[in-house]
Amino acid sequence: MPIQVDLEERRRAAILEAAGALIAERGYHAVRIADIARLVGTSTGAVHYYFPGKNDVLTAALRHSVERAFERQSAVLAAIDDAHQRLLKLIDMQLPMVGGVRDEWSVWIQFWAEATIHPELRPVHNQFYARWQETVARIVRRGQRQGVFLAEVDVDGVTRRLTALTDGAAIQVLTGAPGMTVTVMRELLVEFVRRELIPPGNR
């Protein structure tokens, strides 16, 4: 039985990897179940066995993408004690450079669009978004305890502003907004942290 379960999990993961890659490359509405099946080397029936509908694939692909990103971030951030350096590292890991992180952003943006017109997708989105905000909030609180961040800062407020700035800048990078690059995005976020969180004497 454990071998069968492991095989099922590997098949499901392969489908999600393929779905995420195709959605990131072509866009959600341009991807068919048949495309996912072809990339995995299986049948459309096998894909439907795990995911009855296309929205199920999108939701699961987002979940897979988010879980993978959180696992990656958690492993890296845990090794950094200083909260300021930890937050800067988190910023670096959010930059939509070419490769896996850019693909994850593409899936995120398309999920946002679908959640805008399909309310049933919003609870899933909000669950993941709360997790992303809590990651930032924990680092800010850690920095306050360590004395590297301003003690009087409203943690929830600065978390909302930083995550909103991150999302807005990433959208501009991905859509090719004039003057917005990965480098500019990083500069904006680092400057926000410096201005909002670092005590004046340490800036």
d(CA 80, CA 82): 6
Per-residue confidence of the chain (203 residues) as pLDDT tens digits? Answer: 455 557 788 888 899 889 888 888 888 888 899 999 999 999 999 898 988 888 888 788 878 877 888 888 888 999 999 999 999 999 999 999 877 888 889 888 888 888 899 898 899 889 889 989 999 999 999 999 999 999 999 999 999 999 999 999 999 999 999 999 999 999 999 999 999 999 987 77
DSSP code string of 115-134: HHH-GGGHHHHHHHHHHHHH
Assess contact for 107 and 65: CB atoms under 8 A: yes
Write down the pTM of the prediction.
Answer: 0.84
CA angle at residue 111 from 21 to 101, to 5 degrees?
Answer: 45
- Determine the distance from the C-alpha atom of residue 131 to the mean position of all C-alpha atoms in its chain, rounded to a whole number: 10
Nearest to 40 by CA among 67, 13, 74: 13
Assess contact for 61 and 47: CB atoms under 8 A: no
